[in-house]
Structure 1
């Protein structure tokens, strides 16, 4: 399992609109992607324009190839992209350890 971590900064004052948009994008687009396993979204408390989007993929290629190179990626960006203050910083992680 691969964790995609996207550090998203949105335009000031757009939190309520973005909250709806990101949930819509996850439900309508991401959830149907090949290799999608689940997601979490965290909202910043001290930095209310900052969001951490965590998407779990079966393989790295499910995100970087199957999703990013598909028409679904454009659909996703059309929903959430208008709220971005800057391009999200995206990295991928392998699980090392977890609590039970």
Structure 2
């Protein structure tokens, strides 16, 4: 399992709109991608225009090739992209240790 971590900064003052848009995009586009295993969306407390999108993928390629090179990625960016103050910083992680749940 690969964890995609997208650090997203949006235009200040658009949090409520973005909350609705990213939730809609995750359910209607992201969740339908092959290799998608689940996601979480976190909003900054100290920096309310900062979000972390955490997506679990079956493999790195499921995200970088299967999703990013698909038509669905264009639909995803059309939903969330208009809110970006800067391009998101995206990195991928593998587990070292953890607890269930």
Instruction: Tell me the TM-score normalized by structure 1.
Output: 0.99
Runs of 4+ in 1 over 2 A off after TM superposition: none
Give the equivalent residue in structure 1 for 2:92.
92
Task: Could you tell me which runs of 5 or more consecutive residues in structure 1 were left unpaired when the two chains were aligned.
Answer: none
Cα deviations across residues 27-48 of structure 1 (Å, max 9, x unaligned)? 1100000000000111000000
**Aligned-pair CA distance for 1:99:** 2.0
**Aligned-pair CA distance for 1:73:** 0.3
Give the equivalent residue in structure 1 for 2:66.
66
Task: Could you tell me which runs of 5 or more consecutive residues in structure 2 were left unpaired when the two chains were aligned.
Answer: none
Give the equivalent residue in structure 2 for 1:76.
76
Alignment of 1:1-100 (within 5 A): 1-100=1-100
Instruction: Tell me the TM-score normalized by structure 2.
Output: 0.98
How many residues end up aligned between the 2 structures? 100
Q: Secondary structure at the match of 1:24?
A: helix
CA RMSD of aligned residues (A): 0.5
